[in-house]
């Protein structure tokens, strides 16, 4: 698929989510309304007042830069190929998010919940479940990423609760999905777009995200673009200090029968500088069965997707983008 259409000047909304955690039902419902509008429109928005300490976010970027700036041999010692559960370093051009396009010009590092090798779920071979690979350099990498993983998980769970309210469901509707989450923290590093790129070559090919919601931190470089179906154009999602970019993933499109859209996006780093970003893919309990929500099926409508477990869905998505 190729969309070389002009850029739209439209902007994505910034939603102040302080009310969500307030335990004030009026504030929560007002917020649910804003989330509903943003999710029905484009499935992409910014959030501010999210409660994740700025110093922690700075530490995440600093540790990520320090890791990627090491010699290749040090990074390859932690190659994700050594991990049965997809944890660790992935070199440039290892993943192809856009079918038919050249591989993505990004390197990355995968981190998940730390689950010991003798845990019954690991012994049973659950997808992406197990211990992390932790680099020795920089020394603060592990404590920083573990703190951030918890903070991002907590925030993601609040967004999912807000989405429940936005769909006229009880705030704890997704409680089973929120237990034992298979959430993935990924560090990304994009070198500048090559001077003579292959046709269709990009930092990150156009794709939708696999999970429930994605919480994205980006540095000040820019390059993220979101496809606007109505305008048939790409919208820039520029860096906005103090915010996360949040987007709906495929699981919410399935739950809502596409009332909430899992929107195409891509990254082209035309800045001439290095770009760093940090997506947190909030994927939830692998055993949870995802099927059309009763509040998303009008009389006479049929579900567009068969029921699927989170695990089955994740396995299919990884297979598709890793050949």
Ligand X SMILES: O=C(O)CCC(=O)C(=O)O
Residues engaged in binding ligand X (CB under 6 A): 188, 204, 209, 216, 218, 224, 265, 267, 277, 279
User: SS3 for 69?
Assistant: coil
Residue that has been written with the tokens 């439209």 in this structure: 10
Q: Name the residue number minimizing CB distance to Fe ion.
A: 209
DSSP string of 221-281? S--EEEEETTTTEEEE----TT-EEEEE-HHHHHHTTTSS----EEE--TTSS-EEEEEEE
- Toward Fe ion, which CB reaches closer, 107 or 209? 209
Span interacting with Fe ion, options 64-72, 167-175, 205-213, 292-300, rule CB under 5 A: 205-213
- Binding positions for Fe ion, 209-248, rule CB under 5 A: 209
Q: How far is the CB of 192 from Fe ion (least distance, A)?
A: 20
- Toward ligand X, which CB reaches closer, 159 or 267? 267
- Toward ligand X, which CB reaches closer, 46 or 293? 46
- Toward ligand X, which CB reaches closer, 165 or 187? 187
224 binds, among ligand X, Fe ion, none (CB under 5 to 8 A by kind): ligand X
Q: How far is the CB of 267 from ligand X (least distance, A)?
A: 5
Task: Compute the chain's Rg from CA coordinates.
Answer: 19
187 binds, among ligand X, Fe ion, none (CB under 5 to 8 A by kind): none
- Toward Fe ion, which CB reaches closer, 104 or 209? 209
Q: How far is the CB of 25 from ligand X (least distance, A)?
A: 34
Q: How far is the CB of 277 from ligand X (least distance, A)?
A: 3
Binding residues for Fe ion, rule CB under 5 A, total 1
- Toward Fe ion, which CB reaches closer, 119 or 219? 219
CA–CA distance, 319 with 160 (Å, rounded to integer) = 26
182 binds, among ligand X, Fe ion, none (CB under 5 to 8 A by kind): none
Q: How far is the CB of 216 from ligand X (least distance, A)?
A: 6
Q: Could you tell me whether strands 233-236 and 204-207 are parallel, antiparallel, or unpaired per DSSP bridges?
A: unpaired
Q: Under a CB-based contact definition with an 8 Å cutoff, are residues 247 and 46 in contact?
A: no
- Toward ligand X, which CB reaches closer, 90 or 209? 209
Buried b / exposed e along 157-190 (16+ C-beta atoms within 10 A): bbbbbbbbbbbebebebbeebbebbbbbbbbbbb
Span interacting with Fe ion, options 114-122, 191-199, 208-216, 300-308, rule CB under 5 A: 208-216
Span interacting with Fe ion, options 49-57, 129-137, 206-214, 234-242, rule CB under 5 A: 206-214
Residue that has been written with the tokens 């090491």 in this structure: 70
Counting every residue written for the chain, the total comes to 323
Supply 259's token pair: 């009332």
Q: Name the residue number minimizing CB distance to ligand X.
A: 277
Q: How far is the CB of 122 from ligand X (least distance, A)?
A: 25
Q: How far is the CB of 166 from Fe ion (least distance, A)?
A: 21
- Toward ligand X, which CB reaches closer, 152 or 296? 152
Q: Which long-range contacts (CB under 8 A, 24 or more apart) does 33-36 make?
A: 33/166, 35/159, 35/162, 35/163, 35/165, 35/166, 36/166, 36/167
CA–CA distance, 150 with 217 (Å, rounded to integer) = 15
Span interacting with Fe ion, options 60-68, 181-189, 202-210, 281-289, rule CB under 5 A: 202-210
What is the tally of helices (H) and strands (E) in the chain?
7, 15
Determine, following the binding rule CB under 5 A, whether residue 104 of this chain makes contact with Fe ion: no
Continuous segment of H or E residues that includes residue 113: none
User: Which positions lie near Fe ion, rule CB under 5 A?
Assistant: 209
């Amino acid at each position: 698929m190729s969309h070389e259409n002009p850029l739209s000047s439209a902007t994505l909304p910034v939603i102040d989510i302080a009310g969500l955690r307030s335990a004030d039902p009026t504030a929560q419902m007002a917020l649910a309304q804003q989330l509903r509008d943003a999710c029905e429109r484009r499935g992409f928005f910014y959030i501010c007042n999210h409660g994740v300490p700025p110093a922690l976010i700075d530490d995440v970027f600093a540790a990520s830069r320090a890791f990627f700036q090491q010699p290749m041999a040090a990074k390859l010692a932690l190659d994700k190929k050594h991990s049965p559960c997809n944890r660790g370093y992935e070199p440039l051009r290892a993943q192809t998010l856009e079918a038919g396009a050249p591989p993505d010009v990004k390197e990355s590092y995968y981190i998940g919940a730390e689950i010991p090798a003798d845990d019954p779920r690991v012994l049973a071979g659950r997808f992406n479940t197990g211990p992390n690979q932790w680099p020795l350099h920089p020394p603060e990498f592990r404590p920083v990423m573990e703190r951030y993983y918890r903070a991002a998980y907590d925030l993601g769970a609040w967004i999912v609760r807000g989405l429940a309210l936005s769909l006229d469901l009880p705030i704890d509707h997704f409680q089973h999905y929120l237990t034992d989450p298979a959430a993935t923290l990924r560090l990304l590093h994009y070198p500048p777009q090559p001077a003579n790129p292959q046709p269709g070559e990009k930092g990150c090919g156009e794709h939708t995200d696999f999970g429930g919601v994605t919480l994205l931190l980006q540095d000040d470089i820019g390059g993220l673009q979101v496809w606007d179906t109505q305008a048939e154009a790409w919208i820039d999602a520029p860096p906005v200090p103090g915010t996360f970019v949040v987007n709906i993933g495929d699981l919410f499109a399935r739950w809502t029968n596409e009332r909430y859209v899992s929107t195409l996006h891509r990254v082209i780093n035309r800045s001439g500088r290095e770009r760093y970003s940090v997506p947190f893919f909030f994927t939830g309990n692998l055993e949870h069965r995802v099927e059309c929500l009763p509040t998303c099926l009008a009389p006479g409508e049929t579900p567009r997707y068969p029921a699927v477990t989170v695990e089955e869905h994740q396995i299919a998505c990884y297979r598709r983008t890793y050949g």
